[in-house]
Amino acid sequence: MHAELYDRAVGYVLDGAAPHVLHTLANQQPLDVALVARPDAVVTGARLDAVAAAHPGWTQDGAQAARRTVYRTAPAPVLARFGRLLTSVSRDDGADVTERLVRLVDDVGRLTTSARGRQGSEGVEETLARWTPELMSEVVREYGLPDDAAVAVVLQVLVRRDRTSDQRRALVRNMAGDAFLVRHAGILARVVTALDAAGKRSFLDLAARNLEAHAGLVATLVVDKAPEVRASATALIARLSDGAQVRALAPHLTVADPDRLDAVVAHLAAVDGGVAALGDALARLASGRFDDEREQVLRRVLDGELNP
Q: What does the pLDDT read at residue 308?
A: 41
Over range 184-199, report the average pLDDT: 97
- Average pLDDT of the chain? 86
Q: Count CB-CB contacts under 10 A for residue 258.
A: 14
Alpha-carbon distances, residue 155 vs 35, 149, 168, 287 (angstroms): 27, 10, 11, 40
- Give which of 168, 12, 164 is closest to 105, Cα–Cα: 168
Q: Would the pLDDT of 48 be above 80? A: no
- Of the ranges 8-12, 99-103, 140-144, which is most confident? 140-144
Q: Which of 233, 89, 114 is nearest to 166 (CA)?
A: 114
CA distances, 162 to each of 155, 195, 198, 201, 290 (Å): 14, 11, 8, 12, 43
Pick from 28-32, 37-41, 164-168, 171-175 the range whose average pLDDT is largest. 171-175
Does residue 257 register a pLDDT over 80?
yes
CA atoms of 122 and 115, how far apart (whole Å): 9
| Cβ atoms 252, 279 nearer than 8 A | no
What is the spatial distance between Cα 219 and Cα 240, in angstroms, rounded to a whole number? Answer: 11
User: pLDDT-derived band of residue 29, with 50, 70 and 90 as boundaries?
Assistant: low
**Whole-number Å distance between alpha carbons of 299 and 132:** 48
Judged against a pLDDT cut of 70, whether residue 95 lies above it is answered with no
Q: Are 157 and 98 in contact (CB under 8 A)?
A: yes
Residue 273's pLDDT band (cuts 50, 70, 90) = very high
112 versus 138: the higher-pLDDT residue is 138
Which of 191, 221, 187 is closest to 204 using CA atoms?
221
The larger pLDDT score, comparing residue 130 to residue 25, is at: 130
For 300, residues 6+ apart whose C-beta sits below 8 A from its C-beta are: none
CA distance 79 to 74: 6
Predicted confidence at residue 32, as pLDDT, reads 57
Residue 6 belongs to what H/E stretch? helix 3-15
At residue 37, does pLDDT exceed 60?
A: no
> What confidence tens digit (pLDDT) does each residue in 122-157 have?
678 889 889 999 999 999 999 999 999 999 999 999
Task: Identify which has the larger pLDDT, 151 or 95.
Answer: 151
Q: How confident is the model at residue 297 (pLDDT cuts 50, 70, 90)?
A: confident
Which pLDDT value is given to residue 165? 84
Contact between 21 and 2 under an 8 Å Cβ cutoff? The reply is: no
8 Å CB contact between 75 and 16: no
pLDDT at residue number 88 = 82
**Mean pLDDT computed over 282-301:** 78
pLDDT for 228 beyond 80: yes
Backbone angles phi, psi at 273, to 5 degrees: 90, -10
Are 99 and 156 in contact by the 8 Å Cβ rule? The answer is no
- Which pLDDT score, from 0 to 100, does residue 117 have? 47
